Amino acid sequence: MDKVNFKLGELFCGPGGIGLGAKLAKAQNGASYSISHAWATDYDYDTCETFRKNISLKQPETVLCADIRNLDFEVLADISEIDALAFGFPCNDFSMVGERKGVNGKYGPLYTYGVKALKLFKPKWFFAENVSGIRNANDGKSFDTILKSLTDAGYKIYPHLYKFEEYGIPQARHRVVIIGIRNDIKTEFQVPSTQPYKDFDVSARNAIENPPIPNDALNNEFTKQSAEVIERLKHIKPGENAFNAKIPKHLQLNVKGAKISQIYKRLDPDKPAYTVTGSGGGGTHVYHWKENRALTNRERARLQTFPDEFIFCGSKESVRKQIGMAVPPKGAKIIFDAVLSSFAKIQYPATKQNIIPTLALFDKEPHYTVQGKQ
């Protein structure tokens, strides 16, 4: 059987959520279609070590730990040519929490390195990912700018807001993923349908308890909770947080301004988890529905669909950050499967794209607006 393999390069690779999803993806139609790791880069040392250990164990030299702003892309080219590019560029300036400075912030301009790589390497297709808030930063102008930059780089683009809990992922995690296919390639992409996953058990309980986490599982250390936190949690029911639960006055939080709904929020065991994050102080660690404690990193990894044999490197807090910043591997696999099926000319259940970039005239210059914002 003929084999068609796409060599994947990754910028802002993270611990390997996208990389693992790519490795697991496949399609078959006369020939077998697959994706293999070519090279990856990230600025965080522990993150790169995790990626090496799980994705490129036999090729550790293909993972470069460097600040992308100082990275010579020719070094990546020397490692390997690529057929595909993935970049989940930092989301800090597009997140719903924060100032949402968009492309004018510290991290927002980093998407331009993805555009630079597209122009230099000219891969056949790309996978770009960011938070749902990217659509609204700077009143939508940041997203317009990004979409236009990607099309100007020579690609047909297919942006879509994926609600991963609708794809069998046990977590309410909403992310914008943009698939791009080079203009000279006739292949068209369709967003995979949620229909095949409608009967999946996406409850937090099922994810964490079925099967039970082995006693010797790594990255499964418990957080030492203070007596005050334990006492506060006793008054918080499943699905409640520190602000909507009936908590004695001496245990209530003295917080001015916005009351973030995820502070000391317990999971509802019968629903998908709320979004697992990679940073934040006390009360943001995701809390068990019954036991008076925060989840372990292994439990968080389960909510992100990382298998138990996927080992994270670094301190407990570093691992928490890596897990929270990652793309769920099973979610990535579903999208990569659709990309491979598109190239293999395989019909698969598809749904209507919910973000439609349309070219319009704005101050006599091309401008992108986005329809179907949710």
Q: What are the structural domains, with CATH classification, of the chain?
A: 2-199+327-371 (3.40.50.150)
Q: What is the mean pLDDT of residues 345-374?
A: 71
pLDDT tens string 189-206: 999 999 999 999 999 999
Check whether 350 has a pLDDT greater than 60.
yes
Question: What tokens does 224 get?
Answer: 């030492």
Q: What is the mean pLDDT of residues 357-368?
A: 55
Question: What tokens does 24 get?
Answer: 């697991």
Check whether 100 has a pLDDT greater than 50.
no
Q: Is 313 one of the catalytic residues? A: no
Look-up of token digits 């005050």: 228
Closest CA to 179 of 325, 47, 353, 373: 353
Check whether 5 has a pLDDT greater than 70.
yes
Check whether 107 has a pLDDT greater than 70.
no
Lowest-confidence region among 240-244, 332-336, 349-353, 365-369: 365-369
Question: What tokens does 5 get?
Answer: 């393999």
Distance CA 105, CA 333 (A): 31
259: confidence class by pLDDT, cuts 50, 70, 90: low
- Sign, CA dihedral 45-65-296-292, equals positive
Q: When comparing pLDDT for 27 and 363, which is higher?
A: 27
pLDDT score of 133: 81
Mention every residue, 6+ apart, whose C-beta is less than 8 A from residue 279. Answer: 321, 324
Distance CA 64, CA 52 (A): 10
Check whether 362 has a pLDDT greater than 80.
no
pLDDT tens string 36-93: 999 999 999 999 999 999 999 999 999 999 999 999 999 999 999 999 999 987 644 4
Check whether 175 has a pLDDT greater than 90.
yes
pLDDT tens string 276-303: 998 887 789 999 999 999 999 999 999 9
Look-up of token digits 């509802």: 268
- Its pTM stands at 0.92
Check whether 104 has a pLDDT greater than 70.
no
- For the chain, the average pLDDT equals 90
Contact in structure between 303 and 170 (CB atoms under 8 Å): yes
Distance CA 234, CA 222 (A): 18
Q: When comparing pLDDT for 98 and 136, which is higher?
A: 136
**φ, ψ at 304 (rounded to 5°):** -90, 0
Question: What tokens does 281 get?
Answer: 């102080």
Q: What is the mean pLDDT of residues 348-370?
A: 71
371: confidence class by pLDDT, cuts 50, 70, 90: low
Q: What is the mean pLDDT of residues 212-221?
A: 96
Check whether 103 has a pLDDT greater than 70.
no
pLDDT score of 199: 97
pLDDT score of 93: 44
Catalytic residue among 13, 48, 91, 313: 91
Percent of the chain past pLDDT 90, that is, above it, reads: 78
